[in-house]
Chain A
Amino acid sequence: MTASESTQSETRMVRKRWLPVLKRWVSQIGLYVVVLILAVAFGLPFLWTILTSLKVPQEIYAFPPRMLPSSPQWNNYVEIFKRAPLGTFILNSAVVTLLSMIGQILSASLVAYGFARFRFPGRDALFVVVLSTMLMPAQITIIPRFLLFKFLGWLDTYKPLIVPRYFGGGAFMIFLFRQFFLTIPREFDEAAKVDGANSLWIFARILVPLSRPVFITSAIFTFLSNWNDFFGPLIFLNTLEKFTLALGLAYFRRIPEIGVEATEHLMMAAAMTMTIPCLVVFLVLQRYFVRGMVMSGLKG
């Protein structure tokens, strides 16, 4: 090789050495940028809501727009309780949610126990039926259910919302419990049976204590779905004082405000009030959220 050629190949070798390092740096930085942008995209609406809920009405529409409130109006959160029966709504939601949760968890776990631990003719076919109800849209049954509850005189009460939860608790819950019960070795059951235990005892004293994760997960799911339920209360409740939080919030969003004042700051505060219990549940039970989602999804 000539002298110039050898320096050329040397330069090429040097370039080849730090190029991959540079590439890795760029992709790393790129990764972080994307991840951060996404975090902002997901988190900014929350931030905006909190900030707006602490502003005075004039600040919301100020131009040029301000980011932070000049002084946080924490009393906005007190104000919303005065403007609308928010306290009543929260109480109603709490009652309905709690009673529904108990019903769903109790009945789904028992039904799942039947599917998981007992052999009977038609068992697998029936379970397929259970699963297929997950694919069914709610519209198909809502009108007759409305008429049924009207006939029973249950309209404008919480019974249409709560009572059906005690009849199996929903296909998804049954599925969740059954999958988990199937992972518990039958030897535990057998051992107890040898000692003369009946099936209910085995359920309560052996399966349940071993199933803490799935019970917590199902508590999370049932809490969220009942706390957020909008369609049910919309159809079945008429009196304002009986509204749950989901319904009450929507109601106050739709009626035209008396007077000319802007109410966005109050609406944001109200929206946050409804969201905070969900956030708390998540932050405390994060582990079970993740595990629950995975449990339900991977089987598919």
Chain B
Amino acid sequence: MASVAHQPAKRRPRMRLNMAQREAIQGYLYITPWILGFLIFTLGPMLASFYLSLTVYTMVKPPRFTGLAHYTRMIQDRLFWKSLGNTFYYALIFVPISIVGSLCCALLLNQKIVGRAFFRAAYFLPSITPVVAASILWLFILQPEVGALNQILSWIGISPGPGWLASSKWSKPALIIVSLWRSVGGGTMLIFLAGLQGVPRELHESAELDGAGAWAKFWRVTLPLLSPTVFFNLVLGLIGALQVFALAFVIQAGGNTSMGWPAHSTLFYLLKLYDHAFNLWEMGYGSALAWVFFFIVLALTYAQLRMARSWVYYEAEVGAVR
């Protein structure tokens, strides 16, 4: 540009941004809040947590480096293994039943029923109940003597009923029941319902022409089409279930402050982590626990992703189905 030669000593670099560059800058600008949030509240803490897991830090004195001491302590910590076992027991029983249950409810509600919308709403209500409120009301229902559940069981001949939250054998099943009440009939069921209604009629009709009965139609047409949704819910459901906390925390016997009472049967992993970090202020050990958990979740998710190829059917991959 001719005028450049007449510019005074102070240089002003002329930036000619083309449209693509301008668009890119604006794009970055809009996602800046997320980037900042990610760095400050996610990535930063992740790295800090890793560092802390290698130190002893109780907030009284500065962190003291101890290498892998926490990790070796973990292996010898009996309650570590117990909490891991409890958590997997809960998650591996709850998640499959929850998904199958939601699918069954969706199948039921997909039929022509009078008052279908009413039933759908009734099934959905427990899922919007706050965890704390649900825990409190089930606390009462699960009482061995006066609770509603055992009373109903006594009508069909099971008396006396299980000790539920007072029994170390039945406490986890009790929590699973509460969680199932809150999750079956909820969002997952709605998603399945929409999926069921999205199955193209032609597929069912051509299957009928080939002589398929109701069961075959379900197993070979409907289910494969729903498998991505099942997979999605399986992965997220498992990750969520492994983090069970509020339910167990609120329900713990009143007045008894020992974590995971009775007999540590409801000591879940996150509960133990909370105990170490925020009751005992063992920030280092707590961080180590957190990282171990993170790796477990990572490994599980990766394993599921690998296995997905053999049973999840994606319409785009015609011929990929076995």
Q: Does A25 interact with chain B (Cβ within 8 Å)? A: no
Which residue on chain B has the smallest CB distance to residue A274?
Answer: B133
Q: Does B148 interact with chain A (Cβ within 8 Å)? A: yes
Contact for A133 among B38, B191, B232, CB less than 8 A? B38
Question: Which chain A residues lie closer than 8 Å to B294 at the CB level?
Answer: 136-137, 139-140
Question: Which chain A residues lie closer than 8 Å to B81 at the CB level?
Answer: none
Contact for B126 among A45, A139, A167, CB less than 8 A? A45
Establish whether residues B194 and A298, one from each chain, have CB atoms under 8 Å apart when the complex forms.
yes
Contact mask for chain B residues 16-39; partner A; CB cutoff 8 A; 1 contact, 0 none: 000010011111111101111110
Which residue on chain B has the smallest CB distance to residue A138?
Answer: B243
- CB B191 to nearest CB in A, in angstroms, measures 3
**Stretch of B7-15, B46-54, B68-76 contacting A (4+ beta carbons < 8 Å):** B46-54
- Interface residues in B241-298 by Cβ distance below 8 A to A read 242-243, 245-246, 249-250, 252, 254-255, 257, 270, 273, 277-278, 283, 286-287, 289-291, 293-294, 297
- CB A284 to nearest CB in B, in angstroms, measures 12
Most buried by B among A140, A231, A267, A300: A140
**Stretch of A1-9, A10-18, A72-80, A289-297 contacting B (4+ beta carbons < 8 Å):** A289-297
What are 21 A-B contacts defined by CB distance under 8 Å? Answer: A38-B185, A42-B123, A42-B125, A42-B126, A45-B181, A114-B27, A114-B29, A119-B23, A120-B24, A126-B35, A139-B273, A140-B294, A141-B46, A144-B49, A199-B26, A245-B132, A253-B139, A256-B255, A274-B130, A297-B233, A298-B229
Q: Does A191 interact with chain B (Cβ within 8 Å)? A: no
Report how far A254 CA is from B148 CA in the complex, Å: 21
Report how far A61 CA is from B290 CA in the complex, Å: 43
Establish whether residues B194 and A297, one from each chain, have CB atoms under 8 Å apart when the complex forms.
yes
Q: Does A147 interact with chain B (Cβ within 8 Å)? A: yes
Report how far A137 CA is from B245 CA in the complex, Å: 12
Which residue on chain B has the smallest CB distance to residue A273?
Answer: B133
Question: Which chain A residues lie closer than 8 Å to B245 at the CB level?
Answer: 230-231
Q: Which 4 pairs, one residue from A and one from B, show the smallest C-beta to C-beta distance? A: A167-B37, A114-B30, A300-B232, A118-B27
User: When A133-B42, A140-B46, A297-B232 are in contact, do A48 and B30 touch as well, CB less than 8 Å?
Assistant: no
Contact mask for chain A residues 7-38; partner B; CB cutoff 8 A; 1 contact, 0 none: 00000000000000000000000011011001
Establish whether residues A235 and B122, one from each chain, have CB atoms under 8 Å apart when the complex forms.
no
Q: Does A69 interact with chain B (Cβ within 8 Å)? A: no
User: When A38-B108, A271-B137, A282-B125 are in contact, do A143 and B49 touch as well, CB less than 8 Å?
Assistant: yes
Report how far A49 CA is from B138 CA in the complex, Å: 9
Q: Classify the interface of chain A: helix, strand, loop or mixed.
A: helix
Q: Does B224 interact with chain A (Cβ within 8 Å)? A: no
User: When A38-B108, A120-B24 are in contact, do A147 and B48 touch as well, CB less than 8 Å?
Assistant: yes
Establish whether residues A45 and B108, one from each chain, have CB atoms under 8 Å apart when the complex forms.
no
Question: Which chain B residues lie closer than 8 Å to A268 at the CB level?
Answer: 136-137, 140
Q: Does A154 interact with chain B (Cβ within 8 Å)? A: no
Question: Which chain A residues lie closer than 8 Å to B84 at the CB level?
Answer: none
Contact for B34 among A31, A42, A65, A174, CB less than 8 A? A174
Establish whether residues B126 and A235, one from each chain, have CB atoms under 8 Å apart when the complex forms.
no
Q: Does B44 interact with chain A (Cβ within 8 Å)? A: yes
Contact mask for chain A residues 121-157; partner B; CB cutoff 8 A; 1 contact, 0 none: 1010010011001111111111111111000000000
Chain B: interface residue total (CB-CB under 8 A): 95
Report how far A260 CA is from B161 CA in the complex, Å: 26
Which residue on chain A has the smallest CB distance to residue B186?
Answer: A293
User: When A119-B24, A130-B34, A270-B136 are in contact, do A293 and B191 touch as well, CB less than 8 Å?
Assistant: yes
Which residue on chain A has the smallest CB distance to residue B297?
Answer: A137
Establish whether residues A271 and B146, one from each chain, have CB atoms under 8 Å apart when the complex forms.
no
Question: Which chain B residues lie closer than 8 Å to A250 at the CB level?
Answer: 132, 135, 246, 249-250
User: When A164-B41, A250-B132 are in contact, do A45 and B124 touch as well, CB less than 8 Å?
Assistant: no
Q: Does B111 interact with chain A (Cβ within 8 Å)? A: yes
Report how far A118 CA is from B303 CA in the complex, Å: 34
Establish whether residues A253 and B137, one from each chain, have CB atoms under 8 Å apart when the complex forms.
no
Q: Does B98 interact with chain A (Cβ within 8 Å)? A: no
Q: Does B187 interact with chain A (Cβ within 8 Å)? A: yes
- CB B116 to nearest CB in A, in angstroms, measures 9
Contact for A43 among B52, B122, B134, B257, CB less than 8 A? B122
Report how far A44 CA is from B232 CA in the complex, Å: 30
- Interface residues in B217-249 by Cβ distance below 8 A to A read 228-229, 231-233, 235-236, 239, 242-243, 245-246, 249
